Amino acid sequence: VPKNPKYAGVKSVVDTGASVSKVKMISTREFLKRKDEIFKRIRPSTLAAILDESKEAPESVFDHSGAPKVVVHSQEAQAEYSKPFLLLDLRLEEDYERCHISEALHFPAAKLRADRVPPEVYKFKNRTGTMVIVYDYDEREAIPAATMFTDKGWDNVYMLSGGLRVFGERHPFWIEGDIPEPPVSPSRAGTARSRVSAAPRGLNSTRRGSAESLAGAGAASVSGES
């Protein structure tokens, strides 16, 4: 078949739709490191897309090397985490049990600080084609944890921007347990605080004014009687 030189640089590619590799490529390009951070971030919408895809994609019976996986059914056997991503919940166990993102594993930040990384987590370190995504409720634990991961040489670590609080408000379908309260914008919080703080002052002023008026009326009455 004669080739048209006009399309010499165009590759023949079949687009099979959304894939984890595509999401990973997009996230790597879009979520660059902030000036004061050494790790990368991932948006809630991107994580939701990854979860959507992982739910729709059938699990392969072959491992990454192409060899068939041996599945052993035992009461003591633990489920193998074979997803192309690892989602870690850094909060306390009781908080994780109460509410967490679907597919997330519990990995408290204290274990990372103590350098106690279990094998099922460590095997994802810099593993080609995988992402390690960490989150907490509102980034307070996740920021130092993602920094520590990166300091320890983990190049495929991402932090969920906004944490569980924002993700749960935007993507409640992927929340297991009680959905966390939606975030309150600083402007609304400031307005609410100003209203609360302003109300007592106005009330006190009114009360003081009323008391002064009554006192003045009483004094006038006394002077009139005398």
pLDDT at 222 over 70: no
Distance CA 103, CA 87 (A): 7
Nearest CA to 92 out of 137, 148, 152 is that of 137
For residue range 139-156, what is the model confidence (pLDDT) as tens digits? Answer: 999 999 999 999 999 999
What's the pTM?
0.60
Report CA 25 to chain centroid distance, whole Å: 19
More confident residue, 73 or 31: 31
* Confidence bin at 8 (pLDDT 50/70/90): low
One-letter amino acid for residue 147 of the chain: T
* Confidence bin at 31 (pLDDT 50/70/90): low
Distance CA 23, CA 47 (A): 9
pLDDT at 164 over 50: yes
Mean pLDDT, the chain, integer: 73
Tally of CB atoms within 10 A around 118: 10
CA distances to 160, 220, 226 from 216, in Å? 64, 6, 16
Tell me the Cα Rg of the chain.
29
